[in-house]
């Protein structure tokens, strides 16, 4: 999103530097998304182990009450639901920001260089569709149109520095 032109001119950053800064944020958010997804699988594995242990307690030699088993299952399922909702929310937020960054970086570069989240990434539909819907990849038509204002601002800034009038 373009900011105050005078402030941009004072910063002395060109498109290349701005793209580099945005790519650093893009990279860290992609890493966070991958690590949170892996964490979700790890929590699922711990839940499976816990439920298996609870089953052994009910059917094992000391045969605890069946109520302990069901209470444990309910606690595990509630914990999974809360964790899943919070983790899913954070992954969706990060993926949304990555889509925004892809659009901005592509507009600043003047071509569609980054496209993963916009075309193939999860969370494009949102809500329960991400869980229960089919995950079809998008198409090139899903790419956001490039915004020329980033390049126009850069051209105007370069022209004002050189004293020439922008085209």
- Per-residue pLDDT tens digits for 73-122: 888 899 899 998 888 888 888 888 999 999 999 998 888 888 888 887 76
Which has more confidence, 51 or 106?
106
Torsion of CA 145, 152, 11, 17, to 10 degrees: 50
Q: Mean pLDDT across the stretch 58-70?
A: 71
Q: Which two tokens stand for residue 58?
A: 């009910």
Residue labelled with tokens 């892996």: 38
pLDDT over 80 at 145, yes or no: yes
Q: How many residues does the chain have?
A: 167
Percentage of the chain exceeding pLDDT 90: 18
Contacting residues for 152 by C-beta, under 8 A, at least 6 apart: 166
Which has more confidence, 6 or 31?
31
């Amino acid at each position: 999103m373009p900011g105050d032109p005078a402030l941009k001119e004072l910063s002395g950053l060109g498109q290349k530097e701005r793209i580099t800064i945005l790519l650093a944020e893009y990279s860290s958010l992609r890493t966070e998304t991958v690590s949170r997804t892996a964490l979700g699988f790890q929590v699922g594995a711990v839940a499976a182990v816990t439920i298996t242990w609870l089953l052994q307690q009910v059917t094992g030699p000391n045969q605890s009450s069946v109520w302990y088993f069901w209470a444990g299952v309910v606690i595990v399922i509630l914990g999974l639901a809360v964790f899943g909702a919070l983790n899913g929310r954070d992954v969706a937020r990060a993926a949304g920001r990555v889509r925004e960054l892809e659009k901005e970086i592509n507009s600043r570069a003047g071509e569609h260089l980054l496209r993963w989240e916009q075309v193939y990434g999860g969370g494009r539909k949102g809500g329960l569709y991400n869980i229960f819907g089919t995950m079809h990849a998008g198409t090139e038509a899903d790419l956001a149109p490039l915004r020329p204002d980033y390049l126009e601002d850069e051209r105007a800034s370069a022209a004002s520095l050189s004293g020439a009038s922008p085209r």
